[in-house]
Amino acid sequence: MPFFQSASLKEITKPFIDAIPGARQIVQRVRHGKKPPPEFSGWGMTTNRVPPWKNDSQIARDFLKANDALIAAVRDGHFHMTQYADNTDKLGMLRSLMWRHYFVFWTVRHATVSGGESLVECGVSDGLTAYFASHAVNNAKKIYLYDAWEKMLEEDLLESESRHMGDYAYLTLERTKKNLEGVNAEYVKGHIPDVFKTHKTPESIAWLHIDLNASKPTTDSLEEMYRHVASGGAILFDDYAGRGFKDTRSAVDKFFSDKGGLFLPMPTGQGVFFKY
Ligand SMILES: C[S@@+](CC[C@H](N)C(=O)[O-])C[C@H]1O[C@@H](n2cnc3c(N)ncnc32)[C@H](O)[C@@H]1O
């Protein structure tokens, strides 16, 4: 019997389809007439890969528990997402941020192996990141929260960042405190770097998050905080590979060019430095 009659077309084509990246999705689309929905889409990233919070693991369960509690708090009006006031679908927004928040959760949990005593965030806004960071360690570490809770200043912005002038004028420290009720936090209000002159930087930091939407205060924060980050700790950046943040990316790359550690850029646009 000729070979083509003994083997089905599917069997013959399978090795070729498996060998070409993306070919299986094209075949499925032709066969089923529509694209299967992506596993995740949001915050500039779409993927067909199964997200880690669907794993049967402790960290996945803990992350989902924190995420569900936040959804309930937003729904009940206990947590206000003032930064996304114009977005009418707040829960959809939270869903789209899940990969971002998973990286926050994971890096905090990993950084605790460093033995560093505290968590720090520079750029807090309503407290979304701080919420996930504190839940990752069940509130066991104090989180120091630095923010101006006032509009961004012209002198902090490069020409390429001038679109941010006046941003965040609507934030209030009181609202963030209410959002983060029960979190083991110390609030440090003031503009970076001036605030570093009046507030003593925590001695031993396990995890530092920098999310300031501007390269100058990002560098100022690194210069002040880096020596306090414990060996084995992590420094997470929110704005590393976002479009429109190329100066932040260059500043971060330059800062770490002579430091001992490894930088991992992530597809969400975040980046994390693991300090050796
Ligand atoms: C993108 S938001 C932070 C979002 C926050 N991490 C979250 O997850 O919701 C940027 C924050 O940086 C703060 N910020 C910007 N420049 C600052 C500076 N020089 N000093 C202190 N805070 C600043 C703003 O007030 C704003 O709250």
Nearest-CA residue for atom 5 of ligand 1: 124
CA of 40 to the centre of ligand 1 (A): 27
Tokens of 132: 């996930």
| Structural domain contains residue 162 | yes
CATH code of residue 106: 3.40.50.150
Q: Is residue 246 part of a domain?
A: yes
| Residue 239 CB less than 6 A away from ligand 1 | no
Asked if the structure places residue 20 within a domain, the reply is no
In angstroms, the first-to-last Cα distance of the chain is: 65
Find out whether the beta carbon of 129 lies less than 6 Å from any atom of ligand 1.
yes
Give the pLDDT means over successive 10-residue stretches in the chain (276 positions).
55 78 72 80 94 98 98 97 95 97 98 97 98 98 98 95 96 98 98 98 98 98 98 97 96 98 97 98
Where in the sequence is the domain holding 226, given as residue range(s)?
A: 56-275
Q: How many A from CA of 125 to the centre of ligand 1?
A: 5
The domain total for the chain is 1
Q: Cβ(148) to ligand 1 under 6 A?
A: yes
Supply the pLDDT for residue 94. 98
pLDDT at residue 32, as a whole number? 62
12: in domain: no
Whether 93 maps to a domain, the answer reads yes
Q: How far is it, in rounded angstroms, from Cα 120 to Cα 76?
A: 28
Residue 79 counted as domain residue: yes
- Is residue 175 one of the residues assigned to a domain? yes
* Residue 220 Cβ < 6 Å to ligand 1: no
In sequence order, the β-bridge partners of residue 272 are: 236, 264
